[in-house]
Every structure is written in structure tokens, then in C-alpha cells.
Amino acid sequence: MDAYAQAVAHHRAGRGPQSIAAARQAVVEAPDDPLAHNLLGVCLTSTPPTAEGIQVLRAAVARWPNHEHLVTNLALALQSAGEQGEAWRYLRHLLVLNPASALACDRLGFLCNTWRGDREQAARLSDRAARLSPQDEGIRINQSLAWAPHDLDRTILALDAATIVNPQNTYPYVQRAGALLRRGRWQAALHPLRRALKLDPTNDDAIKHALRCQRYHAASQSAAAQGPGPGDGLLLRGPFSTASGYAHMGRRYIQTLRRQQVPLQVIGVFGHETWADEPLEAPVGAKAAINIMVPLAVEPIPGLATILYSMFEGPRISRTWAKQSLAADMVIVPTESSRVAWASQGYPEDRIRVCPLGVDAEPAAADAPPLTLVDGHGRRVDSYRHRFLNVSDAIPRKNLDGVLRVWLRATNRDDDAVLILKPGKGGTEAARRHLQNIVRQTQDHVGRAFTDAAPIVLIDQPLSEAEMTGLFRTANHYFSLSHGEGWDLPLSKAGAMGMGLIAPAHSSYLDYLDERFARLIPCTTGPAHLPYSTEPWEPFFGLDWWNPDETVAAGIISDIIAGRDKGLPDASAHLLGNFTWDQAARKLRRILADAGLLRQGDRS
């Protein structure tokens, strides 16, 4: 048996090291055979893909650019390695080489959906893949995902096709149930859930879906028992157990409405929620279900008005969001900019209400001391006169590349200033890669190294609530250069704690800030692209966002450091006096009472 045949046999048997050794020998024996290079690349990139394997395939494709197997395996390896842009390029080349490649159509459709955000093109490509290979279960599942954001009927048809191909796979049954729940058909969802749980009684998603069906049924019965007229309580649904902004918003509303003695039923998105003080799962005669989330996750409950309490960070929502929002009887948003975002895509303006959120100085962690931080030279951060803070998820909308460009242009290494950068929840590999890439790209773009600027201290690990408050106490300025915000929780918290604010003059900032309370940066609008790229950012495909004027921003930072700006305005009294959670909860109750959905009573 020659080396090539040995490598194939070892690879099929799952003997990785032996397959690689034999494949290397096959390349030595046949250096001009593209199949030998292809086999070595496949062996090297099999779970997980290695940089060497990708390089082998890349070099082989450079020699044989029209070899279908080589192009296919390079594209798959790049996609597995998270190199979506390059995978996209080679998959498009594969489709030129073989227009009947179901794999190319399927993977391109998947990337259109999950990486580019082009839902319409994703659906077209996925449908084409399904026509080319109708009995491929994976293709049918990807087809369902492509249709899920904007056509649940087509989603269900694709999932039905997947169950016909493989009746023993629980995934399509659970996804079908999820699609039916988003249509408000919890009873119909029980059938595929029973099938899934019969196949796998421990399936976590099926159990969570079934639990929600049970609670929706109880809420519907409770609403019917109330008879006509407003309800006695409210049903809240949201991702309350996560670290997201929506979860924070939901938890604050739960705490505040309970203090105001409003009966609550709370249903978590991800399954059973636990509550320290009392159970909040029991029905309370609610006539309104408030979904604190994005439109695509709303699940209507029969017999209850469907309220979407959401927000958007750009000038207008997507067509997919607009279509899904129509399932809601009312949309509540926290700011005027979000109201315009929904209205501009045709959602009826008479069904939109504005209810501002509260801001936090985190009274629960009021005694938290400032964190002790040091810069890269061992100097304590609290010894710097000017300590700027930015807390942002490492995503393109937060414009960390813009923050870094401004810092590079505005500061020098001998300035008495430091930037504290906290990338959201921290600690994720994706966030680290994003930051590493933009640091490198920013230095190249500006033509200056970060060693020539004032120091940056990166906080790259999760912090508790008390530690987050301590982090805020470490700084005296908060600096945002975001492309858009539905409601900037970190900045509003910083303002409530008395820090000086520097923010773009757009989106939610204009609802609670003006020149009396912050240094505002003028902005223009433009397409939402990935940093240093013309590629669209997936959630904003085909949409615009705001671009803050970085020259003005750099001037503000420079003036503060040089002492030309003697002190930023204090926004704490304004924010804590006009944007409290108690005020937010009272406004929410008035909105629902005016709609005939909640009995106000004489609750505090």
C-alpha cells in the first residue's frame, strides 16, 4: 500500500498522527499531484484546523486555482477557523467552478445569514442548495435558519423536510416548536416537543420550550378568568439571567415593580428562572405580556396583548425587524431615536410609546472601593490626573477602533492621562481577537504606535457588580465614540456617579444629555461597515449608523489633558433627578393603564 492509500486509510479510521505522517510522505512521493497536497491539508485541518493545514491548502490552491477539491477544503477549513471573509471569497470561486455545488450554495447561504446579515440572499442560496441536494439534512436545517428571521412558514416547511430525511434527529423538532411559539401557537408546539422528548428525554431546549408552553397556558387561563377589562398584574418575558443590557433592564423593572406592589409573572427566555425572595412564575391575571427583547424573539401568548419593549441603535430598523414587530400590539421604546427607527420602517406610529429607562449609580454596591489598577510600567492608575474610562462590548458598533484612533492622535506618552478600556463582559476569545486586530490595524492606519501615546489599561476579565462600581470609581471621565445606542447603560451610570461625560450627539444620548451636561461630538451618518473594511456588519446589513467626528473628539481629549477645558459638566443631578427606575416603572404603568391593560389602583 502506497503512502497516499495509507494516509486515506488512517484518516478514515480517525488515526490523526498516522494519517498526517503518511500524507507528508505522499507529498514527498508525488510533489506535483494536487490530490496529495489536498489530502495533507485535510489531515492537518481535521478537528481542529491548524494554521499549517490551512497554509498547505492555500499554497496548493495558488498552484492549482481551479481544482475543485482543493478550493472546497480550503474554504471549509477557513470557515472552521473563523476566517469568514476568506472562506466567503473561496466559496464564491467554488460556485464559479461548479455552479451545481450544493455545498458552495449551502455554505454561502449560511455565511450570508450569520456573517453578512443579507437574509434575502441567504434564503435564495439556501433554497438553491436544497434543490440541488434535497435529501441533505444539514442543508435543510440551514435552509430553515435562513428563512427564520422573516418567514416562519417557510422555516417550518424546511424543518419538516429535515425530519423526513432523518426522523431520529431531535433538533428539527425542537426548532419547529420554537417557530410555532414565535407564531403564538403553543398548543401546536407541543406535538414536535413530544416527539423530541420521546427521542431524548434529557433534551434541554425541548424541556425549556415545554415549560414555557405550560406557563403560557396558565397565563392564558388566568387572563380569561379575569373577564373583560384591565388586568391585575403584568407578565414580563426576557433574558433575565444573562449579562446583557436587556437582562439588566428586565431585572431593574422586576425589582422596581415589586417595590411598587405590582403583581408579576416572570418567564425567562432560557428556561426556569429562580428568584430569591418569592416565586414569580405564578399567573397574576395579566392582560399584557411585555417582551423585553429584540423583535425576533417575541412569543405571543393567546389572550394577552403582545407588548414589545425594545430599542435600536441606528436611524431605522431592518425590514426583518419591522415585519416581526407587526406581531406586537404595541411597541415601547426608551428614546425618541428608537421611536423614529420603528416609524421610519412603517410600524404604525399610533402604536409606539416612549418610556425612558432608569440610570444606575449602583446603590447595591455603594460601598465598593475603587479598583487598584496599574499600567504597563507599574504606575498606579489612580495617580494619573485624567483617567478616561470606556466600557464597551468588543463589537463594531461600539467603535473601539475609533476610540483607539482618537487616543493615538490626541495623547502623548508623557501626558498625565490614562485610558481604562473594559471590553464588555471580557474574557472571550472573540473579543480578544477583535481587539488584537483593531490595535494592529489602528497603528497602521494612524501611522503611530501605541507606545507613543498615553497608556491604555485593558481590563480583560469579568467583574462582579461591586467590582464594576469600583472600576467606575477609578476613573473621572467617561468617553464613548459609539456608532449608536439604544440606551447606553455604562455611560448613564458613569454620569449618575458624577464622572465627566464625552459622548456623540446622536441616538439615545440626545434624550438624556445636552451641552449643559456633557461634551458632545458632532456626527454624520453612513453605511455600517466592519472596522477598516467595506464589508457590512451583520446586524446592520443594508443600514446606516452614526459616525462621530474624530477630529473634534481628539480636540476634546487634548483640551482636557492640557487644562484648556477646566472641568466637564456634572450630569449626576440631572440624570438621577429625571431618569430613575421608579419613574420608568410609573411611566410604564401609565402607558399600559391608558391602553386598558393594567388596573392602576392606589399602588405606591
Contacts of 88 (CB under 8 A, 6+ apart): 108, 111, 115, 116
Contact present, 521 and 504 (Cβ < 8 Å): yes
Omega of the bond leading into 348 within 30 degrees of 0 (cis): no
- Angstrom distances, CA of residue 554 to CA of 163, 318, 354, 521, 579: 57, 32, 34, 10, 30
CB atoms within 10 A of CB 369: 11
Give the pLDDT confidence score for residue 360 in this predicted structure.
Answer: 81
Write down the CATH superfamily of domain 3-175: Tetratricopeptide repeat domain (1.25.40.10)
| Same topology between domain 3-175 and domain 207-354 | no
Contacts of 391 (CB under 8 A, 6+ apart): 422, 424, 468, 471, 490
**Residue 235 main-chain phi, psi, to 5 deg:** -110, 125
Give the pLDDT confidence score for residue 49 in this predicted structure.
Answer: 67
Give the pLDDT confidence score for residue 67 in this predicted structure.
Answer: 97
Q: What is the CA radius of gyration of the chain?
A: 27
Give the pLDDT confidence score for residue 432 in this predicted structure.
Answer: 76
- What single-letter DSSP state applies at residue 368? P
- Angstrom distances, CA of residue 527 to CA of 94, 483, 537: 29, 11, 9
pLDDT tens string 246-256:
998 999 999 99
| CATH number corresponding to 367-578 | 3.40.50.2000
CB atoms within 10 A of CB 277: 7
State whether CATH 3.40.50.2300 applies to domain 207-354: no
- Please give the Cα distance from 446 to 442 (Å, whole number): 6
Segments in the chain below pLDDT 50: 364
Contact present, 498 and 572 (Cβ < 8 Å): yes
The residue extents of the domains of the chain are 3-175, 207-354, 367-578
**Residue 554 main-chain phi, psi, to 5 deg:** -65, -35
- Angstrom distances, CA of residue 301 to CA of 285, 328, 589: 13, 11, 20
Mean of all residue pLDDT scores within the chain? 93
Nearest to 492 by CA among 392, 387, 368, 575: 575
